[in-house]
């Protein structure tokens, strides 16, 4: 009969936990993870507990202060004052829709941008895609610089908002 070994007992308990963590995280890295939105930085960037800063894939919300990035939207007929208003509306929209709620993050291509932010689609508790909602409300434009899986869908949502004169596309 073997004697009781605390070291062996420890590894018997710890090994399955380590396997779960390793394979669970590896799987989550491919598809989705979840967390509670604890802060909203601006209309397209938020903080998710356990994840960090998340930049929403495929959308570009105007900045709260004038910047070089204004040029694209000005060429689209959106004045700088309307861009500032839209930035504030988008911030409040994301706060209302997501802050304090547990969301799912869905990944697509690169997991991080050059600033170290996690890139993701933000899926609300009711299953709606927050990135797309910003486009539908006219609070964001499609970020065209990079390809992503939902680009065609997002371009259609932006066009629909433009045609309907919603948000910054108001006629």
| Residue 54's CATH number | 2.40.50.90
Could you confirm whether 144 is annotated as catalytic? Answer: no
Q: According to the model, what pLDDT value does residue 90 have?
A: 98
Report pLDDT digits (tens) over 16-38: 544 444 444 433 445 799 999 99
Domain count, the chain: 1
Q: Which of 2, 32, 36, 63 is catalytic?
A: 63
Exposed/middle/buried for residue 47 (C-beta within 10 Å: 0-12, 13-18, 19+) = middle
Residue 80 lies in a domain: yes
Please state, in angstroms and rounded to a whole number, the distance separating the CA atoms of residues 56 and 119: 6
Residue 9 lies in a domain: no
Residue 24 lies in a domain: no
Could you confirm whether 166 is annotated as catalytic? Answer: no
Q: Which domain holds residue 80?
A: 32-169
Please state, in angstroms and rounded to a whole number, the distance separating the CA atoms of residues 148 and 120: 10
Taking a C-beta distance cutoff of 8 angstroms, is the pair 36, 102 a contact? Answer: yes
Q: Helices marked H in 29-150 — which ranges?
A: 70-75, 80-98, 130-136
Please state, in angstroms and rounded to a whole number, the distance separating the CA atoms of residues 151 and 67: 25
Q: Which of 74, 97, 111, 117 is catalytic?
A: 117
**pLDDT exceeds 60 at position 122:** yes
Of all residues in the chain, the percent with pLDDT exceeding 90 is: 80
Could you confirm whether 63 is annotated as catalytic? Answer: yes
């Amino acid at each position: 009969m073997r004697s009781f070994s605390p070291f062996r007992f420890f590894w018997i308990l710890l090994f399955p936990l380590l396997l779960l963590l390793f394979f669970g995280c590896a799987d989550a890295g491919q598809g989705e993870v979840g967390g509670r939105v604890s802060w909203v930085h601006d209309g397209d960037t938020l903080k998710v507990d356990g994840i960090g800063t998340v930049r929403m894939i495929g959308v570009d919300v105007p900045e709260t202060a004038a910047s070089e990035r204004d040029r694209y939207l000005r060429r689209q007929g959106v004045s700088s004052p309307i861009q500032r208003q839209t930035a504030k509306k988008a911030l409040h929209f994301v706060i209302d829709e997501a802050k304090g709620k547990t969301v799912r993050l869905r990944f697509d291509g690169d997991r991080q941008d050059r600033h170290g932010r996690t890139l993701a689609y933000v899926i609300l508790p009711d299953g709606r895609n927050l990135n797309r909602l910003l486009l539908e409300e006219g609070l964001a434009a499609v970020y065209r610089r990079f390809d992503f899986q939902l680009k065609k869908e997002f371009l259609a949502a932006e066009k629909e908002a433009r045609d309907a004169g919603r948000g910054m596309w108001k006629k």
